[in-house]
Structure 1
Amino acid sequence: MRLAGPGATPAHTAHWARDVLHAARAARRDAGLDDLLRAVAPPDHRSPADRRVAAVHEAGHCVAYLDAGLTIASTSIVARGDSGGETRAAGRRPEFPTRADLDAGVVILLAGRSAEEVVLGAASTGAVVDLAMATRALADGHGAHGLGDTLRHRPDPAASLNFDHGLRGAVEADLARLLDRRFLTGDDVAALLATSPIRNVGPKDGAKNAMPGPKIRGPKVRGRNS
């Protein structure tokens, strides 16, 4: 089903099927297409301002993917569980990524938050999972894969951040550098949004705490807004 997007897994399908059957049994009728549509894309009870944050956030991921020369497979602001949206790119990540590949992936992860800052004037809490994934990716790069200033291997670099001040400083410096210097411009995002109806939906200042919690599998970004 196109609405489900290429990120739908067999587990998602099984969950939707159970929801459809339960709804039909509760209503004492046969399951229909409307039941399936409600399961795959449940009603969105978020405010227009929150939906705007989600749309801007996903637009940021799209711009970053396109800037990296990738093709967008799908993008959605359908809320599912803790995720307020998802953007996927076609293709596969390198099996043995380089430091440049690592940086490019982190830039894409940070793109939603950056788009919120550029377009809406402030970032929301919706990038929490993007930030967690970016932090873990950089921690692994520095602490396990020798892609930083040391070849020392740590079994669990992310856990080491709690007590390894050197590793934590390197990760924080990279996050700041990638946010400040290697990202989309306001004109890039504005040009993308200029052709979208979301630009006139909801007040800018009502877009905090936009939505509940993402992930990046293959080339994919999901998140609270992600």
Structure 2
Amino acid sequence: MKLQISDFDLKQLISNIIDSLEYALRDSNNTIHLNYDSSIPDLLQGDSLKLSQVLINLISNAIKFTNDGHIDVVITKVEDFDERVTVYFKVSDNGLGISQENQGQVFEDFYQEHSKNSKSYKGTGLGLSIVKRILMAMNSDIKVISKEYEGATFFFELDFAKSKKEELPTVIYENHLQQIKDFNILIVDDNKINQLVTRKVLDQLDIKAKAVASEQRLLRLLRQNISIVF
């Protein structure tokens, strides 16, 4: 798993993720609270895309298995060096929780906790497995503290280099957006939350998008030469 290192604004990244999950929060009648340490440098260097994958999976899972509850996202600075900083991430909820005997299995491929809950069938069971692999590629690991029916807390630490830039080159991002502005984007994902999050992000960029639930469905449409109306 190759990391793509670039400069990014961590607080903005977190805010964008939470904003994109607003519909899921409303649907499950949950609230979310972000506790962000303002002493963390504004700009960091790291793989922001893979970090987004990690946080989207963790927060989406918290929402999926919590109803009429709350999710807390805590991001604090652990250590501050001349050129690097260590940041602590925590996502916790007061939902269904995970039994002690099953906590070691939730990071395995295709494992689905609370299999009797209809929401658990809306994914592949790969989310936490992917989270663990991404964090291992970043020289970190994820841990969980939970009790059944008393919620769950997932947490990890990451080291980042401090960016030497004073601000991000927004002009470059705007140019990239202009290149795909008139494109029709087709999302292929069997996870309903991932579909909606991706569509939400693209909608905010005024990019038209549709979603299908499987590659088989996509291939069937292509073989039948059925046009997809956006």
Q: TM-score, normalised by structure 1?
A: 0.31
Bigger proportion of residues as helix: 1
Bigger proportion of residues as strand: 2
Q: Which has the higher contact order (CA 8 A, sep 6+)?
A: 1
Q: TM-score, normalised by structure 2?
A: 0.31
